[in-house]
Structure 1
Amino acid sequence: MTWLKLWSSSTKDDAKSTEPSRTTEAIESVTQTIDAATTSIQRETNQVLHSNVTAFTQPQTILATVVLTTASLGIFRFYKTYLRRIPQAVNINPSFLRRRSLVGRVTSVGDGDNFRIYHTPGGRLAGWGWFPGRRIPLDRKELKDQTIHVRLAGIDAPELAHFGRPAQPYGQEALEWLTSYVMGRRVRVYVYKADQYSRVVGSAYVWKGLWRRDVSMQMLKAGLATVYEAKSGVEFGKGDEQKYRKAEWWAKTKRKGMWSGKNKNFESPRDYKSRHGVGNPQNEVKP
């Protein structure tokens, strides 16, 4: 029958037309769910970012950051200024001269008025001599290029034999006295200048019992050095020149060392150097 065919065909067409509609609805539902989730995530992310930005802009956070940065820079500056070890005289910054001092242990004595120290910044308080990693080398190979050559300021000791020149009377005695006085001991050196022979000129102090002794002063009192005499290049600590001249006068009065009168043909270190054509005594090369 014709009407039955028509009814049947219409029913099938309706079924076919509803299938795309349901698929579209499902897709739209999934899309809406995704959009809702995305919106929620964005909202939460914005809230977290806003919370973090707010936290970083809080006065407490800013203050803590400033304090931490300042402390870090301060520690680094303190280390660089006071705890960094200086291996040789050539490594001393010019701004250091006449402003700071060096603490170190004497590792060798080359002549009656110069020696070498191994710089130990901070001394025992910084662990030198007892803390692992703060050992002072004893072997010459380990000490190579690791010591500061110091020339005592303000004095001139009798010369040893150098470069074919004969030794002066009391030159050996001056060397032995200085060796026994400072060798292996901790000294503090106030540095005044650097010379062209990779040395520093300065006043050295060593503790003897409860008293701190000026090494140059003690050599003058022992009659084993003279006050440094030159037209230029002389270096003294503040107020030291008059004290040194008084100490030399005292040694002469007491006939100490080279002033004992045993050396009938006395010649000062300065005159000896002039006679042998040696230049500035304070810049003379010493072994």
Structure 2
Amino acid sequence: MPWFNFWSSSSSDTASLTEQANRTGSKVQQTASKLRNEVETSDTFTDLTSSKSRFIAALTQPNTLLATTVLTTAILTLFTLQRRFARRFPTATDIPSTFILHSQRRFTRSIFGRVTSIGDADNFRLFHTPLGRLAFWGLLRKVPDAVKSLKNNTIHIRLAGIDAPELSHFGRPAQPYGKEALDWLTAYLKGRRVRCYVHKQDQYGRVVATVFIRKGLLRRDVGLQMLRAGLAGVYEAKSGAEFGGKDVEGNYRAAEKWAKRKGRGMWAATKTLETPREYKNRYREGGTATGVEGKG
């Protein structure tokens, strides 16, 4: 039997192969067309097409568009509220400039938290607990009390508008009533929840703020109460004093006058009184002063 020659063929053989290939291609096309017709007329294809059409129609319904809009708006609103009210600030430097109030504006923005320690008689440290119990602080979320946990995790607050008697610092003696003022502020604030309306940050990295505490059903201005107790004076400086408005400053000065008239606290002195501002100026200038002489 002769071997088939792969390298050569007659013209009749070539024509035969071409005709056979055309017939095969025609059969393939017929089969594919038949399958396509069967798929398109089948129940499954009809159901899929119908389901897709119904889905698209449902998406374009007014009720669906309204629900989608409401849901999207709600998500964006919750995100905005979280950024505005529920974000926790570990330290003073984390507080954004949007919380800083102009000195002549009424109180609008605040931070809420628990007082963890008292520094001098006019400043303390606060652990920020945004939204308070609404965010389950003190319930499911605990305010830390260990020194290690509080390190770099509290805001240093300076009471706005007042100046308390100085404690002993850097080899300088304490002013009279300095310890009494510290004891008063400690008893009044430590461990309590307070709301602080931020005015600015001072040169020591503290937040200068007007601070309120709730006593029963009443909300008390801590600085104002300290002035009425005669354990602080109105902050006096050529620049940089913050009160939160002229009316607040007026209330502070009236409280100081009342405490002087009643002889409350450090205003019980019968001879001379060196105010905290005078004390600071004296040591800044390297001079001396007589200090305070109280009754008895």
Q: Do these two structures clear the TM 0.5 threshold for a shared fold by scoring above it?
A: yes
1:256 to 264, 270, 288: 264
Cα distance change of structure 1 residues 210 and 52 upon mapping to structure 2, 3 Å threshold? closer
- Residue of structure 2 equivalent to 1:38: 36
SS in 1 for 2:199: strand
Q: Report the CA distance shift for 1:41/1:140 in structure 2 as closer, same or farther (over 3 A).
A: farther
Instruction: Specify which of 121, 130, 134 is matched with residue 121 of structure 1.
Output: 130
Cα–Cα, structure 1 residues 168 and 46, in superposed 2: closer, same or farther, change >3 Å? Answer: same
Which one of the candidate residues 71, 85, 108 is aligned to 2:117? 108
Q: Which amino acid aligns with 1:231?
A: K
Q: Report the alpha carbon displacement of residue 240 of structure 1 after superposing the two structures with TM.
A: 1.1
Distance of 1:218 and 1:125 partners within structure 2? 28
Query: What's the RMSD between the two structures over aligned residues?
Result: 2.6
- The TM-score normalised by the length of structure 1 is 0.81
Shift of 1:32: 3.0
Match of 1:82?
Answer: 85
Q: Secondary structure at the match of 1:79?
A: helix
Query: What amino acid does structure 1 have at the position aligned with 2:212?
Result: Y
> Does 2:160 align with 1:153?
yes
Q: Tell me, which stretches of 5 or more residues in structure 1 are unaligned?
A: 1-19, 279-287
2:200 is equivalent to residue 197 of structure 1: no
* 2:97 equivalent among 94, 99, 117: 94
| TM-fit CA distance, 1:198 | 2.1
1:285 match: none
What are the residue-to-residue correspondences of 1:153-172 with 2, within 5 Å? 153-172=160-179
Distance 1:210 1:184 in 2: 19
Change (3 A) 1:179 1:40: farther
Aligned to 1:179: 186
Q: Note the alpha carbon deviations across 1:240-275, whole angstroms, 9 max, x for none.
A: 11111111111111111111126x442000011111
Shift of 1:71: 0.8
Q: Which residue of 2 aligns with 1:282?
A: none
Q: Compute the displacement of 1:30 (Å).
A: 6.5
Structure 2 stretches lacking a partner, 5+ long: 1-18, 102-107, 286-296
C-alpha distance after superposition, 1:43-72 (max 9, x if no partner): 847665554444333333322222111111
Percent identity between matched residues is: 55
TM-score by length of 2: 0.78
Q: CA deviation at 1:42?
A: 6.7
| Matched residues, number | 255
